[in-house]
Amino acid sequence: MINVLFAARSERWDQYETPLRAAFTEDGLDVDLRLDFPPHEVDYIVYAPNSLLQDFTPYTRAKAVLNLWAGVEAVVDNPTLTLPLARMVGGGLTEGMVEWVTGHTLRHHLGMDAHIINPSHAWRPRVPPLASERKVTILGLGALGLACANALTSVGFETHGWSRSPKAAPDIICHHGAEGLRPSLDQAQIVILLLPDTPATQDIMNAETLSWLAPGAALINPGRGPLIDDTSLIAALDSGQIGHATLDVFRTEPLPKDHPYWAHPKVTVTPHVASETRPVLAAQVIARNISNGEKGAPFEHLVDRRLGY
């Protein structure tokens, strides 16, 4: 019997209990899944970083912590966590992010707002450039960034991507490292942030990097709030250097009612909905990783604690 502790907010249990039990059965795993165990009897911890469980010290027998979320910034520095930590890859996150990013990119590319919001009923034909005439840059070419880059490439955009280590992908112009940041952003007309929140990525969009973009560029952030220096972004929106910002994630969530982003005419706020883990698909990812652990195979999607993602 494998003892699996579900350590997430109680409403998540209602969503995940049935899919997890089904996925364990499907994979032939004999699992006792519970919200509570004596800690020293737990083999695996299915985890959400906003769970009440913050001290991992008593989980002496556990083999891994399996995160339900892609982002791990709220758990990666936990000094009591020495177990392998796997993040969520798949579980519907990729498809959802591709759809959200493609939709919001096309909104800016096609200038849809001019037709949707037209109270004077003005007949004002404005033909957008073709996608191939538009430089779009994705910062972060991981599970989500690469899938979005592929989707935007298939629409026809001149797609650039930036990562920490070198990458090669058909039809995507890949940049990497500190020296690759400027060429990736230089004169970009739409920029999408899909980096993790780590000390190396915080404030990556600041007064200087925003000034490298094409005047009037759109900034789309489904990554994490701290990637943007908010004061610099508001200044760039006010000066016209940035034409519009579509922001899904923020330093404080929910975004406080009095935050300037809510009232800014050039900002679209979405409430951290870019992509959500889907229980049925995520349960299959978790079950596969527990199978790996039981077979002595390597866990998938392990976080590099040194890098913070």
By CB under 6 A, name the binding residues for ligand NDP.
Answer: 70-71, 89, 93, 140-145, 162-165, 194-198, 200-201, 222-224, 248-249, 272, 274-275, 309
Nearest approach, Cβ of residue 62 and ligand NDP (Å) = 23
Residue 230 CB contacts under 8 Å (≥ 6 apart), including other chains: 251, 261
Residue linked to tokens 């880059």: 149
Nearest approach, Cβ of residue 73 and ligand NDP (Å) = 7
CB atoms within 10 A of CB 47: 25
> DSSP characters for 44-66?
EEEE-TTSS----TT-TT--EEE
Nearer to ligand NDP, 131 or 204 (CB): 204
Nearest approach, Cβ of residue 125 and ligand NDP (Å) = 35
Q: Which amino acid is at 266?
A: K
In the bound state, the residue with its beta carbon closest to ligand NDP is: 142
Tell me how far the alpha carbon of residue 191 is from its chain's centroid.
Answer: 15
Nearest approach, Cβ of residue 122 and ligand NDP (Å) = 35
Reduced to 3 states (helix: H, G, I; strand: E, B; else coil), residue 307 is coil
The per-type count for the chain, helices as H runs and strands as E runs, is 9, 12
Instruction: Indicate which residues carry an active-site annotation.
Output: 224, 272
Q: Which amino acid is at 243?
A: G
Reduced to 3 states (helix: H, G, I; strand: E, B; else coil), residue 254 is coil
Reduced to 3 states (helix: H, G, I; strand: E, B; else coil), residue 148 is helix
